[in-house]
Amino acid sequence: MRYRRPKGTHDVLPSEVRSWRAVEDTFARVCARYRYQELRTPIFEDTDLFVRSVGEDTDIVSKEMYTFEDKGGRSLTLRAEGTAPTVRAFIEDNLQGQDRERLVKLYYLTPVFRQDRPQAGRFRQHHQAGVEALGSLDPGVDAEVIDLSLTFYREVGIEGVRLLINSVGCPNCMTAYVEKLKASVADRLDEMCPDCQRRYETNPLRLLDCKRERCREITSAAPSILDELCDQCAEHFAQVQAHLDALGIAYEINPRIVRGLDYYTKTAFEFTHDALGAQDSIGGGGRYDGLVEQCGGPPTPGVGVGIGLERVLLVREALGVSDEDEERAGVFVVTLGDEAWLPGYQLLHELRQAGFAAGIDYRHRSIRAQLRYADNEGYAHAVILGGDEIAKGVATVRDMTSGEQTEVPRPKLLSHLEG
RNA sequence: GUGGGCGUAGCUCAAUGGUAGAGCACCGGACUGUGGCUCCGGUGGUUGUGGGUUCGAAUCCCAUCGCCCACCCCA
């Protein structure tokens, strides 16, 4: 095999496209219902956009980005996540207009590139469906984004989604909390794993995220961020819960949800599903009230979610969700012998011009082979043209479901098929 | 990046050192101009690749590539 697809990437085969379409169309439909508008941004951006928004010290930026230089010496990076490019466009294209209080609601479907080691549910190119709501601090918007996500999961046929929520506070309470966290861990730091010892200096919040039993045990003694939130953040988190409660949305509060992107403030949440293996997160997001300003725009709060489409597809498969069978459609032109070929070929063109899906057998095989093919390919009708039909100026129309056949005069063929 | 498992026909898998097979799919026939059911027959493999051990390797050893799973991280 001379060429292979790059590691961690996938070809979406014709047989798989239907479920992709079903999921993508459902997402677009749900977004339209919640009044989010589609935004398409480039597949690559200035490297600096991701570095400064996601955070220099995150795994995504420090080891997973596909970064390259163009001929002008600019450093560019393949889309490593969805929020930063959306925020960039929000600012650059002035999507908010003059009304700086206006809520701008955007959605996207996009490939995302990260160079991890592939495994179940993890790819180097995956696809995310996401929404971003920019311009409101209202906790009802946090809940709306969560509600939209859950509606999407339900409408693609996924039951059993678990919602985990947390608040990571604002820069003020977060800084104060980080100090307390470090203090509580400090005297046992030498017992922790090398990663955590590094995190202690570079990104202490991530200490809470470590999966090692020893580290978990040590951090379990640490204060919860939820106890350290400032009044504003605590109130916002309470209000998010009140809004979720009002919608009857079940959730678990999990103070260990930190998320791997540095721009999050206040609300952070994650959707998981038990049908998946180790990579059980099927979506995640949160609030990022400082990001727009940090990227050079006017101070603007925001909240959003990213949903992994491959994982959604995996869950659907595990749950046995099936897409509707495609109905039989189209007309297959069966020609018998040389004299019927060109008339059949003309009919094929005529059918297509009239809007029918239509096909023919370029192998000139037996009628048996042609009908078998038409059956396998899901045609609704076969039109048989042989010596008899040509002589009589008719065509034989066979209904591929019932097997009924009728002789139809050539001039009336199209109207007969339409009826 | 670290560790483990697995690579045999288009697909799912047999064959444990001695002639590479089955089911499904595909093609043809029974049915000379009629698909689906049944029966019969057929096409299809440099056993991922390279090297080694052996009289003999799909099988054992080494290397390499690929895939899968876990760690890590995330969607």
pLDDT at A13: 87
Q: Is the CB of A375 under 7 A from strand B?
A: yes
**A130 nearest nt, CA–C1':** B75
Distance in angstroms, CA of A1 to C1' of B8? 17
**A126 nearest nt, CA–C1':** B75
| pLDDT over 70 at A307, yes or no | yes
**A127 nearest nt, CA–C1':** B75
pTM > 0.95: yes or no: no
Residue A303 CA to chain centroid, in angstroms? Answer: 17
pLDDT at A2: 66
Name the architecture of domain A331-418: 3-Layer(aba) Sandwich (3.40)
Q: Is the CB of A339 under 7 A from strand B?
A: no
Distance in angstroms, CA of A2 to C1' of B9? 20
| pLDDT over 80 at A383, yes or no | yes
Residue nearest to nucleotide B31 (CA to C1'): A368
pLDDT digits (tens, 9 = 90+) for A223-263: 888 888 999 999 999 999 999 999 999 999 998 787 778 89
Contacting residues 143-172/A vs strand B (CB within 7 A): none
Q: Where are the domains of chain A?
A: 14-170+230-318, 331-418
Distance in angstroms, CA of A36 to C1' of B69? 38
Q: Is the CB of A280 under 7 A from strand B?
A: yes
- CB distance A81 to A261 below 8 Å: yes
* Average pLDDT over all residues of chain A: 92
pLDDT digits (tens, 9 = 90+) for A80-132: 999 999 999 999 999 999 999 999 999 999 999 999 888 888 999 999 999 99
| pLDDT over 90 at A16, yes or no | no
Distance in angstroms, CA of A361 to C1' of B35? 14
**A374 nearest nt, CA–C1':** B35
Q: Name the phi and psi angles at A398, rounded to 5.
A: -110, 125
pLDDT digits (tens, 9 = 90+) for A156-211: 999 999 999 999 999 888 888 888 888 888 888 777 777 777 777 777 777 777 76
pLDDT at A261: 84
**A376 nearest nt, CA–C1':** B35
Name the architecture of domain A14-170+230-318: 2-Layer Sandwich (3.30)
Q: Enumerate the nucleotides of strand B whose atoms come under 7 Å of any protein CB.
A: 1-3, 26-29, 31-36, 48, 66-75
Q: Is the CB of A376 under 7 A from strand B?
A: yes
**A209 nearest nt, CA–C1':** B73
